[in-house]
Amino acid sequence: MYSFKYFSLKRHVSNYKSVSRRFAALLGFSFNGHTYMRLHKPNMVPTKRLPDALIIGVKKCGTRALLEFLRLHPDVRAAGSEVHFFDKFYHKGFEWYRDKMPPTLEGQITMEKTPSYWVTRSAPRRVYAMNPSVKLLVVVRDPVTRAISDYTQSASKRPSLPRFEDLALVNSTVNWGGVWSIVDSSWPPVRLGIYTRPLRRWLRRFPRSRILFISGERLVVDPAFEMARVQDFLGLKLVITRKTLLLQLNKGLPLSSQVGKSAHATLLRQN
């Protein structure tokens, strides 16, 4: 025990600060003037966090394959299913959304995929409210191929669905006579392929540098190239390469998407 009555006021203050610093160091604090500040330490306990990156679209372009490939990276953790927070469940609040995320360590990236965000009018504003610095991934492919894939999926569930051409085209009489078929841009599978409409909404909220467009076609013919672009965009170490993709796929990585299966076939042919 110190008997402070034997010290001058100056020595008293100096001794107090010295002892305080030693105790603060033991407790993980730093002493700065009259303020204690908690020292920043890496969080080694997995914690549920809001997403750092989102796969926001586009439907039937390869979003599932992209997520399946990203799961191979040790610093990526993704929600198990499409959460639909920004289009259907926004009223439940951010704590509800956070609870749907997987636990991550500090330094890992939390991700979520819901392709319908791309065309949801309120989604850009809502995503921005969550995090203005979030990174957005958008997979696109040839609009005709995308529309056919979309239709094929619907037709597999509804055999009575009219033919693709009967839905995608409408007859129009032109001035010089005759009946011509034109594309019906109001039909959802066609409308989804008009990428400029939703893009304008997203660019009103986010700079172009925050959005990465991924080629659905190249994800099939050269998945390693596209995944290198994705990892660079997300600030990740280059872990997912042609070698690691082939290794994991040969080990039996479950691929639920046609794009992913096609990419695997491409890698096998190139091997």
Please write the tens of the pLDDT for every residue from 161-211.
888 888 888 875 555 555 567 888 888 889 989 999 999 999 999 999 999
Q: Residues with catalytic annotation?
A: 60
208 marked among binding-site residues: no
Rounded to two decimals, what is the model's pTM?
0.76
Task: Kindly state the average pLDDT of the residues 124-146.
Answer: 97
Say whether 269 counts as a known binding-site residue: no
Residue whose pair of structure tokens reads 């019906």 in the numeric block: 184
Please, are residues 184 and 170 in contact by the beta-carbon 8 Å criterion? yes
- 243 labelled binding-site residue: no
**pLDDT, tens digit (0-9, with 9 covering 90-100), for 106-122:** 999 999 999 999 999 99
CA distance 113 to 93: 18
Phi-psi region of 43 (alpha: psi -120 to 50; beta: other; left: phi over 0): beta
β-pair partners for 38? 29
- Any binding-site annotation on 149? yes
The pair of structure tokens assigned to 50 is 């809001």
Domains and CATH numbers, the chain: 4-38 (no CATH), 47-144+188-270 (3.40.50.300)
Q: Residue 5 pLDDT > 90, yes or no?
A: no
User: How much is the CA Rg of the chain, to the nearest whole Å?
Assistant: 27
Residue 60 annotated as part of some ligand binding site? yes
Task: Note the pLDDT of residue 258.
Answer: 64
Between the CA of residue 28 and those of 22, 31, 37, 39, 193, what are the distances in Å?
10, 10, 9, 6, 55
User: Which DSSP helix (H) or strand (E) runs through 151?
Assistant: helix 143-157
Read off the pLDDT of residues 47-104 as tens digits, 9 standing for 90 and up. 999 999 999 999 999 999 999 999 999 999 999 999 999 999 999 999 999 999 999 9
